[in-house]
Structure 1
Amino acid sequence: MPQSYIKRILDARVYDVAIETPVDAVPLLSKRLKNTVLLKREDLQPVFSFKLRGAYNKMIKLSQEELDRGVVAASAGNHAQGLALSAMRLGVKATIVMPKTTPQIKINAVRARGGKVVLHGDTYDEASAFAKKLVEEKGMVYVHPYDDPDVIAGQGTVGMEILRQVTGPLDAVFVPVGGGGLAAGVAAYIKYVRPEVKVIAVEPEDAACLKLAMEKQRRAILPEVGIFADGVAVGQIGKETFRVLRKTIDGVITATTDEICAAIKDIFDDTRSIAEPAGALALAGLKKYVEENGCEGQTLLAIDSGANTNFDRLRYISERTEIGEQREAILSVTIPEKAGSFKKFCSALGKRNITEFNYRFSDQHDAQIFVGVAVAEGGADRLELVDSLEKQGYSVLDMTDNEMATLHIRHMVGGHRPAVVKNELLYRFQFPERPGALMNFLTKLGNRWNISLFHYRNHGAAYGRVLVALEASKAERKEIEPFLDKLAYRYSEESDNEAYNLFLS
């Protein structure tokens, strides 16, 4: 029974290597959600993840003979770092089998702590099968990342700290789930000590092994597992963890990749720290819980479980965040193919910030533009924007929820110059990025030359960058650059650029 874990958790040896992490208030998000939102900061552990607790608690319970044989584990990274640090502290050899998809930052961290890394397979389950093979062949002791009572008890100390730190009202605790070790330990403790507090498990939509097991009332294997949140990319919930969880949790919520990305930004905005996808998963679930239940005035806590992510993933995370928060509308709009149409369309948007603007000349009657516009969170403002444009006579297609459009088409709008376009010159501009900057640029450019190509993307940088193709006769060419000089924007001609000649001209 889950009650059997209470003594295990109270007796757990974790503070030889782990710290008691703080519970931080997140005032910006709390105000937005109209609830008191708290974060349990497990990302502040020495290995930037809670996994250190369970790994050390398991190892400290091994006999000397077992320690002498060395330990082996399969891990997507965080358990690996916890085990490597624990092994180094105890003077034990540790071999870690990691999926080939593991972020390099986690691989390097394991090696830095003396662990031997073996890369095998694309998922945790494939790595786990290989690690168990090493146990049979070399006699090492397998330290499971989640499906072990001592590991679960070590992770359960997170729940013990939460109840010690939050002595006032606490309505619900949101816990990320991969194999279920953290959730099982936290749920077992909290539901025993304060049964009125809800414990909600949160999984990625594309790796929801606990949700599947709860629906079937038995453990089952997912046909495939998404790896964006690599720390929880598990195809089957643990046997022991499921035994505990089915009796203790109050529900399971799943979160999309975009919702996880939005939660990463929320954590950054309030704490100036960057959570890994699995680390922000619980907060993504908390936000969805508030939206679905319409609750206000409650105290809700999410466990920020880790901060081990590759820096280069931030580009993708940032790109998806605005969509995850529903703060960017992606629209296809038909405008007249005539001078001044761009400027008129920008005026139709009012004071809204344009995040993206893509166009390539197609025919002499209509122009199809791909535009991103900042909108208020929630979706209502987006609908209002579309309605407003349609009332002004524009044909609008809302593609915000179109996965192909947001992932691919936005980067492919363009193509070669149609035969009807003659004497095209390509220029690249840079101007100070501020509200209304794009409109100001178009106003200064005026209607003197026809625009046959236009690309703009606001990346939040100090300077906006625009690629523009202008149609100009040979006689007009000598007038263009003196005119552009008067605009006082930094520019360069790119008509001879090989990329333009290969793909756009």
Structure 2
Amino acid sequence: MIRDDLRMPTREGVLDAAAKIALILPPTPLLPVEIGGVTCWAKAEVLQPVGAFKIRGAWHRLTALTAEECERGVVAVSSGNHAQGVAWAARRLGIPATIVMPRNAPQVKLDATRALGAQIVLYERPGEDRDEVAARLVEERGAVLVHAFGDPWVIEGQGSAGIEAQAQLGHSPSRILACCGGGGLAAGLALACPDAAIHVVEPQGWDMVGQSLARGEIVRVGSTPPATICDALQPDATKPINLAVLQGRAEPGVEVTDEEVRAAQRFAFSKLRLVVEPGGAAALAAALAGKVPLDADTVIMLTGGNTDMASFARTLAGR
């Protein structure tokens, strides 16, 4: 069930978020890309100041805090991209930020989050419940939890990317392919572009949003989930608020393999001259693998580019 005290995100909220974000950040490019003889569009969120779209939801959420809430600070849970988005917004707004991050998060993401001035609290993945760790910190400090995907302001902020894409195209996209972890971006895009088909793309074995949409109820990952290179797309489950927005709006879920993701990373580098991390390349992987129909008004979200040089070099080398 959706908590009674949690408001639902709205398209008006998405428009408000887009207006706020336009005051501080230029639109990310919408780049033409040819796939299978079809020229469609790639939204390069990898070029955000923190290297990922997460800056959008973080900014919309933190700018909605009261003065008292700002003094108490914020707590977020993230493997890296939401962490950097929250840390970036918090530093700019002068708000104390604590980020709960997995000990096995990519070092480049841990280092970047610390460099932005946030305090990091590490947890074991798998083994510890990250939400329980965050809940203890919120209780101890009276801080505001900025959830990575199950927060209405965060959902609206992520949807601002859809408002930008629509303005850049000059009309609504026919469909949007979204890399999907918990469903915050997909839900925001569904609100932003009500006439567009929304395709959620998840790593193989981590299709919790896709399964939840198919069953009409929250599905949690099993006790022994498969390994995936998409570290940014590994939440245990979506939230009721995301499922409520996406139910009846999103297309059936799509899974991609690690090899398909690596091929997408190589494609983005060679064809678009962009560095895209594994989780940020999932939507492109689905397009390249022919798992989603494409047309001239399709938008593919390239959601993050925070990968370390060594692993990216191995991917480019085909290892």
Alignment check: 8 A CA contact 1:258 1:320 kept:
no
Query: Within the alignment, does 1:5 sit opposite 2:10 as a pair?
Result: yes
Query: How do 1:322-471 residues align onto structure 2 when only pairs under 5 Å count?
Result: none
Residue identity opposite 1:6 in structure 2: R
Distance apart, 1:17 and its partner CA: 4.3
1:71 is matched with: 74
Residue identity opposite 1:208 in structure 2: D
User: What CA deviation, in whole Å up to 9, does each residue of 1:470-504 have, x standing for no partner?
Assistant: xxxxxxxxxxxxxxxxxxxxxxxxxxxxxxxxxxx
Q: From the superposition, tell whether residues 280 and 134 of structure 1 become closer, same or farther in structure 2 (CA, over 3 Å).
A: same
Distance apart, 1:262 and its partner CA: 0.3
1:218 is matched with: 217
Alignment check: 8 A CA contact 1:204 1:257 kept:
yes
Residue identity opposite 2:265 in structure 1: I
1: distance between equivalents of 2:251 and 2:203? 17
- CA RMSD between the two structures: 2.2
Alignment check: 8 A CA contact 2:287 2:294 kept:
no
Query: Within the alignment, does 1:24 sit opposite 2:23 as a pair?
Result: no
Is the partner of 1:222 in helix, strand or coil? coil
Alignment check: 8 A CA contact 1:18 1:52 kept:
no
Distance apart, 1:3 and its partner CA: 9.7
2: distance between equivalents of 1:315 and 1:126? 32
2:41 is matched with: 38
Q: From the superposition, tell whether residues 3 and 118 of structure 1 become closer, same or farther in structure 2 (CA, over 3 Å).
A: closer
Tell me the number of residue pairs that the alignment of Structure 1 and Structure 2 aligns. Answer: 309
1:283 is matched with: 284
Query: How do 1:246-261 residues align onto structure 2 when only pairs under 5 Å count?
Result: 246-261=247-262
Q: Please report the TM-score for the alignment, with normalisation by the length of structure 2.
A: 0.90
Residue identity opposite 2:205 in structure 1: D
Q: From the superposition, tell whether residues 3 and 144 of structure 1 become closer, same or farther in structure 2 (CA, over 3 Å).
A: closer
Is the partner of 1:72 in helix, strand or coil? strand
Q: From the superposition, tell whether residues 64 and 169 of structure 1 become closer, same or farther in structure 2 (CA, over 3 Å).
A: closer
Query: Within the alignment, does 1:232 sit opposite 2:233 as a pair?
Result: yes
Is the partner of 1:248 in helix, strand or coil? coil
Q: From the superposition, tell whether residues 71 and 243 of structure 1 become closer, same or farther in structure 2 (CA, over 3 Å).
A: same
Alignment check: 8 A CA contact 1:283 1:303 kept:
yes
Residue identity opposite 1:255 in structure 2: V
Greater RCO (CA < 8 Å, at least 6 residues apart): 2
1: distance between equivalents of 2:73 and 2:174? 43
2: distance between equivalents of 1:250 and 1:277? 22
2:304 is matched with: 306
Q: From the superposition, tell whether residues 46 and 281 of structure 1 become closer, same or farther in structure 2 (CA, over 3 Å).
A: same
2: distance between equivalents of 1:126 and 1:7? 34
Q: Which runs of 5+ in 1 are unaligned?
A: 322-505
Residue identity opposite 2:257 in structure 1: T
Is the partner of 1:37 in helix, strand or coil? strand
Q: From the superposition, tell whether residues 181 and 270 of structure 1 become closer, same or farther in structure 2 (CA, over 3 Å).
A: same
Is the partner of 1:202 in helix, strand or coil? strand
2:89 is matched with: 86
Q: From the superposition, tell whether residues 53 and 169 of structure 1 become closer, same or farther in structure 2 (CA, over 3 Å).
A: closer
Alignment check: 8 A CA contact 1:35 1:299 kept:
no
Alignment check: 8 A CA contact 1:35 1:300 kept:
no
2: distance between equivalents of 1:77 and 1:4? 24
Residue identity opposite 2:136 in structure 1: K
1: distance between equivalents of 2:101 and 2:219? 23
Distance apart, 1:125 and its partner CA: 7.5
Q: From the superposition, tell whether residues 205 and 125 of structure 1 become closer, same or farther in structure 2 (CA, over 3 Å).
A: farther
1: distance between equivalents of 2:127 and 2:284? 23
Match of 1:167 among 155, 167, 170: 170
Is the partner of 2:157 in helix, strand or coil? helix
Alignment check: 8 A CA contact 2:14 2:191 kept:
no
% identity of equivalent residues = 33
Q: From the superposition, tell whether residues 167 and 121 of structure 1 become closer, same or farther in structure 2 (CA, over 3 Å).
A: same
1:15 is matched with: 22
Alignment check: 8 A CA contact 1:97 1:130 kept:
yes
Q: Which runs of 5+ in 2 are unaligned?
A: 1-6
Is the partner of 1:175 in helix, strand or coil? strand
2:3 is matched with: none
Is the partner of 1:247 in helix, strand or coil? coil
1: distance between equivalents of 2:282 and 2:260? 8
1: distance between equivalents of 2:271 and 2:127? 32
1: distance between equivalents of 2:45 and 2:88? 16
2: distance between equivalents of 1:244 and 1:125? 29
1:387 is matched with: none
1:122 is matched with: 125
Distance apart, 1:86 and its partner CA: 0.7
1:206 is matched with: 205
Which structure carries more strand by proportion? 1
Distance apart, 1:105 and its partner CA: 0.7
Residue identity opposite 1:23 in structure 2: L
Query: Within the alignment, does 1:270 sit opposite 2:271 as a pair?
Result: yes
Distance apart, 1:317 and its partner CA: 2.2
Larger Rg: 1
Alignment check: 8 A CA contact 1:74 1:96 kept:
yes
User: What CA deviation, in whole Å up to 9, does each residue of 1:359-410 have, x standing for no partner?
Assistant: xxxxxxxxxxxxxxxxxxxxxxxxxxxxxxxxxxxxxxxxxxxxxxxxxxxx
1: distance between equivalents of 2:178 and 2:103? 26
2:187 is matched with: 184
1: distance between equivalents of 2:127 and 2:273? 30
Residue identity opposite 2:239 in structure 1: G
